[in-house]
Amino acid sequence: MAYDTTAAPPRAGQRDNPSLVAVVGTELARHKRGFIAWYHLLAPVIITVPLFLGALGSSEAKAGQTFEVFRNVTLEFWGVLVPMTAGLAAALSVRADQDAWRLLLSYGVPRGRYFVGKVAALGILGFVSSTVLVVMLSLGGLLSGAFPGGMGTVVAAVYLPWLVGLSMTALAVLVAVVWGMGPSIGVGVAGLLCGALVSDKDFWYAVPFAWPMRVVLPLAGIGPNGVPLPKDSPVTDPGAIPVAVALAAVLTAVLLVVGRLHMSRKEI
């Protein structure tokens, strides 16, 4: 058997210095058949199907407002589900990597990329989940005869919580890496509670867990309980949206830096 002796062996610099894209791709490949991927795909379906059936039987349906009820209640659930999903996904993902990291951290790969790659991969899965929700809301609009006129700001009300929720993903991953699975799930529970209890308060900006829900309220015109808000309610002020996005961007950047530093010093 003849061998090609002219082929150059892979350089160590390439082997021990994978791009962030390669790290993120590896993270996604590891999750594509597991619970985390299925959760992100099915969670929007699981919450929308019963909510649509419930909207069909509501008193508002008799007045031709089936889709409005379905949309409002779904967006209410979504605002609190985003941080809850961040905590759960981060906890399970980091726990699954404990054994692998014992090996990977012994290589010369810049350790910070493992942290950033995991946050980015979970963020991509969150984007996919948001897209599934948009599809389900669109189907609800079609079935109730409200598509596309009734969609309004639905797309923004779905994707903005995901964008702001990236800060919760970074926080949950950091907590999971430092303190473990339980506290990371606690981040998600805190997001669920704060979204329901704090997002419509004057001090919402001081509670990061409430930010994903806060951007939903003015777009959907509802309170945290899913009830339509009066037009003169201060909660309907869209000025809160850029504030929440800016705060989330700053917090995400800070958490990524802290996470990279922690991974760089993490003991094997």
> For the segment 175-205, what is each residue's pLDDT rounded down to a tens digit?
999 998 999 999 999 988 998 889 999 999 9
Q: How confident is the model at residue 162 (pLDDT cuts 50, 70, 90)?
A: very high
Whether 120 maps to a domain, the answer reads yes
CA 66 to chain centre: 27
Enclosing H/E stretch for 151:
none
Determine the pLDDT at residue 23: 85
Segment 59-86 mean pLDDT: 86
Determine the pLDDT at residue 84: 93
Burial 102-114 (b: 16+ CB within 10 A, else e): eeeeeeeebbbbb
167 and 122 in contact (C-beta within 8 Å)? no
- Round to whole Å and give the CA distance between 245 and 219: 14
Please give the residue that has the higher pLDDT: either 8 or 177.
Answer: 177
Could you give the percent of the chain with pLDDT greater than 90?
53
Please give the residue that has the higher pLDDT: either 54 or 132.
Answer: 132
Quick check: 218 pLDDT over 80?
yes
Whether 38 maps to a domain, the answer reads yes
Determine the pLDDT at residue 232: 83
Q: How confident is the model at residue 61 (pLDDT cuts 50, 70, 90)?
A: low
133 and 158 in contact (C-beta within 8 Å)? yes
Q: How confident is the model at residue 1 (pLDDT cuts 50, 70, 90)?
A: very low
Whether 2 maps to a domain, the answer reads no
Determine the pLDDT at residue 206: 94
End-to-end CA distance of the chain: 42
Segment 11-22 mean pLDDT: 69
Determine the pLDDT at residue 90: 95
Q: Which of the 8 DSSP states describes residue 227?
A: P
Whether 5 maps to a domain, the answer reads no
Distance of CA 84 to CAs 40, 172, 241, 264, Å? Answer: 12, 10, 20, 28
Whether 6 maps to a domain, the answer reads no
Count of the separate structural domains present in the chain: 1
Segment 254-265 mean pLDDT: 91
Quick check: 161 pLDDT over 50?
yes
Q: How confident is the model at residue 11 (pLDDT cuts 50, 70, 90)?
A: low
Q: Which domain holds residue 91?
A: 19-265
* Coil, strand or helix at 5: coil
Determine the pLDDT at residue 16: 66
Whether 9 maps to a domain, the answer reads no
Where is average pLDDT lowest: 28-42, 63-77, 207-221? 63-77
Angle at 12 between CA 11 and CA 16, to 5 degrees: 125
> For the segment 100-155, what is each residue's pLDDT rounded down to a tens digit?
766 766 666 777 888 999 999 999 999 999 999 999 999 998 988 878 877 878 89
Whether 10 maps to a domain, the answer reads no
Burial category of 96 from C-beta neighbours within 10 Å (exposed 0-12, middle 13-18, buried 19 and up): middle
Could you give the percent of the chain with pLDDT greater than 70?
88
**pTM for this predicted structure:** 0.88
Ranges of H-type helices in 97-153: 98-104, 112-143
Whether 261 maps to a domain, the answer reads yes
Residue type, 10: P
